[in-house]
Homo-oligomer: A and B are copies of this chain.
Amino acid sequence: MGPLATVDFMHKLLAATPATRDQDHLPLLVSSIPQVPDRTAAYRGEGASPLPALIASGRRLVDGGASLIVMPCNTAHLWFEPLQEALGVPMLHLVDAALGEARRTLGDAPLGLLATEATVTSGLYTARAPQIAWRLPTGRELAQWVTPGIAAVKAGDLASGRRLLAAAADSLKSRGAQGLVLGCTEIPIVLDGNAARMPVIDATAALARCTVAWVTGRRRPFG
């Protein structure tokens, strides 16, 4: 949905693919429709549901021959189940990909989560990994740092986005986070482990690696 996040995902998919020439890369059909209704507004009941637009976008890919669909937008995964049911082709779940990498690299250490208000408050991450002592941004931190930070990235103001999101990361670290899940695909565009001052789980990169693994069949996607 965020078009820069889509480009970032494609870039990470290329990086995750063992290739020495064009023809080694995965054939890809991409539907980048930034007009999909805002996911957080819909979750709040303040805007139209994105589901019809997500289904239309996915159907275009299925009609074009896609045998696997991935969706590099965390918040849109609130509609993952009905979307997958409507499309009828395999889909990989971004949040499961990120949590799988978190478990493999950080065990069950306390984790911070930077994500949209809808992703944080819906439990999209926390309910799928209840064994983790999550450190979540407060309502005030969401309003002051996280939401405007994500909006700055969407508006192309990467420097402001980085500054705001790093401030939020600092606060989660001070409350005990030993690692940080970048749970909105705009966030890894500006924040890495150096800027966050702790190990990060990049959900976009995790989904890219799962996608390559699924396609090349070397292992189960969330193994």
A19 x B63 contact (CB < 8 A)? no
Interface pairs A-B: 8 shortest CB-CB: A30-B30, A25-B34, A22-B34, A28-B32, A60-B64, A3-B25, A20-B155, A27-B33
Q: Are B28 and A28 in contact (CB under 8 A)?
A: no
A176 at the interface (CB under 8 A from B): no
Of A4-12, A139-147, A167-175, which stretch is located at the interface?
A4-12
A14 to B34, CA, bound (A): 11
The secondary-structure label for the interface of chain A is mixed
Contact with B along A98-140 (1 / 0, CB 8 A): 0000000000000000000000000000000000000000000
Contacts of A33 in B (CB 8 A): 27-28
Q: What is the CB-to-nearest-CB distance from A209 to chain B, in angstroms, rounded to a whole number?
A: 16
Q: Please determine whether A35 and B27 come into contact, CB atoms closer than 8 angstroms.
A: yes
User: Which size bracket describes the interface of A in this complex?
Assistant: 35 or more
Report the separation of the CA atoms of residues A61 and B60 in the bound assembly, to the nearest whole angstrom. 9
Specify which chain B residues have a CB less than 8 angstroms from the CB of A24 in the assembled complex.
34
The one of B26, B64, B156 in contact with A31, judged by C-beta atoms closer than 8 angstroms, is: B64
Contacts of A26 in B (CB 8 A): 34
A44 at the B interface (CB under 8 A): no
For A48-74 the 0/1 string (1 means CB < 8 A from B) is 000000000000100111000000000
> A89 at interface (Cβ–Cβ under 8 A)?
no
Query: Does A154 count as interface, using CB distance less than 8 angstroms?
Result: yes
**Cβ A28 vs Cβ B30 within 8 A:** yes
B27 and A29 contact, CB distance less than 8 A: no
